[in-house]
Amino acid sequence: MGRRVVVTGASSGIGAATVRTFRAEGWDVVGVARRQDRLDALAAETGAEVFVADLTKQEDVDALRDHLAATGGIHALVNNAGGAHGLDSVESSSIDDWIWMYEINVIGTKRVISALLPLLRRGAAETGHADICVVTSIAGLTAYVGGGGYNAAKFAEHALTEVLRLELNGEPIRVVEVAPGMVATEEFSLVRFGGDQARRNAVYEDVPEPLSAEDVAGTIVHALTLPRHVDLDLIVVKPVAQAAPYRLHKGELSVKD
């Protein structure tokens, strides 16, 4: 029986790459995001289904649930939607930025899981198992200067994922967390810095081979295509140049004498 996966945050970056990778593996895919034009282009390119939704709005999440239930259900969910705003101190950072980060990274993930878990249980009954993958960040495992609200949101999303795994113990549903380090996508840092292209470019300047969206997508799809009894609870994936969020090598990698 074919498997159907929902990928949130599908309009760009890791989400779009994950849709492409699942489609290349023969999965039925529903890409979810806010931007209709981006989703339409992805659908035309890959043959994926798409659904427009703002995951900070309960009515949109409910509409997504109803659409999926009416069109065949699902067997896997990739909670990828998220983002960062700002790189200021805890003292000086914007409360509005913190609220936005918490809403999309934590509450949005909770909304989607609560809405779609009954469908995943039905999918598990059909195929023998179901999967939930939450894309967090190394920012949810290690604090760093300027991380503030993003650290707080991603630490919370990490905790949510760990609790969910405990709650689902005994059911044939894997809960996988993928925590990427530096990924050079076009939009993540651009959004973080309010559209400042120069600041976005400076993040990746002279970094030898930061991760690509495709690298993370491949990690996600690998985890969800392993034998169903194998659960990669937490996968931390970073470029070799990044030892930690606060320790990043710039310039050529070379062997020490």
Catalytic-role residue among 102, 144, 150, 204 = 150
**DSSP structure string for 103-148:** IIIIIHHHHHHHHHHHHHHHHHHHHS-EEEEEE--GGGTS--TTTH
Q: Identify whether 246 is a catalytic site residue.
A: no
Question: Are the C-beta atoms of 75 and 127 separated by less than 8 Å?
Answer: yes
> Do residues 132 and 174 lie in contact, with contact meaning Cβ atoms separated by under 8 Å?
yes
* Cα 219 from Cα 100, distance rounded (Å): 27
Q: Find residue 134's DSSP bridge partners.
A: 79, 177
Q: How far is CA 202 from CA 54, 168, 199, in A?
A: 30, 42, 5
Q: Which two tokens stand for residue 135?
A: 């894309």
- State the catalytic residues: 150
